[in-house]
């Protein structure tokens, strides 16, 4: 069917999945890495950094934004994008708690 059964899962599971999904494309990973590399937030040249056409980059930015991974402010002519810590913290927390549980459980069965 191609449609995800969102209602069958918890809000938390859906939230984590949507952030992970946003990071689930190399172009979007590259965007996040680039936003980190440039310290300043005047990021008007993301398009030039990627091997993709401008509409494609714009679409990827939109997906990252709607998942809460980045945020953008209008800065005159250009748009200032940067990482949204809240989104990153949610998925980071999920992965760290997995990591901690794995250590304490010493899952040595496989």
Partner DNA sequence: AAATAATATCGTAATATTGCAATATACAAA
Partner DNA sequence: TTTGTATATTGCAATATTACGATATTATTT
The residues of the shown chain that bind DNA, judged by CB under 7 A, are: 1-5, 21, 24-25, 27, 43-47, 52-56, 58-63, 72, 74, 76-79
Residues within window 59-88 making contact with its own copies, judged by CB under 8 A = 71-73, 80-85, 88
Per-residue binding string, its own copies, 11-30, x by CB under 8 A, is: --xx-xxx-xxxxxxxxxxx
Which one-letter DSSP state was computed for residue 109? -
Of 53, 46, 32, 104, the residue nearest 80 (C-alpha)? 46
**Residue 63 CA: distances (Å) to CA of 59, 96, 103:** 6, 24, 34
Q: Minimum distance between the CB of residue 76 and its own copies, rounded to whole angstroms? A: 14
- Least Cα distance to 61 among 3, 49, 77, 91 occurs for 49
Q: Which is nearer to DNA, 66 or 96 (CB)?
A: 66
Decide: is 41 part of the binding site for its own copies (CB under 8 A).
yes
- The whole-angstrom separation of Cα 39 and Cα 43 is 9
Q: Tell me the C-alpha distance between 44 and 31, whole Å.
A: 12
Footprint on this chain of its own copies (rule: CB under 8 A): 4-6, 8-10, 13-14, 16-18, 20-30, 32-33, 36, 39-42, 51-52, 71-73, 80-85, 88-89, 91-92, 94-96, 98-99, 101-102, 105, 107, 109-110
């Amino acid at each position: 069917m191609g449609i995800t059964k969102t209602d069958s899962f918890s809000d938390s599971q859906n939230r984590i999945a949507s952030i992970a999904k946003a990071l689930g494309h190399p172009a979007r990973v590259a965007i996040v890495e680039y936003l980190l590399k440039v310290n300043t937030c005047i990021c008007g040249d993301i398009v030039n950094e990627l091997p993709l056409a401008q509409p494609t980059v714009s679409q990827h930015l939109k997906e990252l934004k709607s998942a809460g991974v980045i945020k953008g402010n209008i800065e005159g002519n250009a748009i200032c994008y940067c990482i949204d810590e809240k989104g990153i913290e949610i998925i980071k927390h999920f992965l760290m708690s997995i990591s901690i549980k794995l250590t304490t459980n010493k899952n040595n069965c496989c």
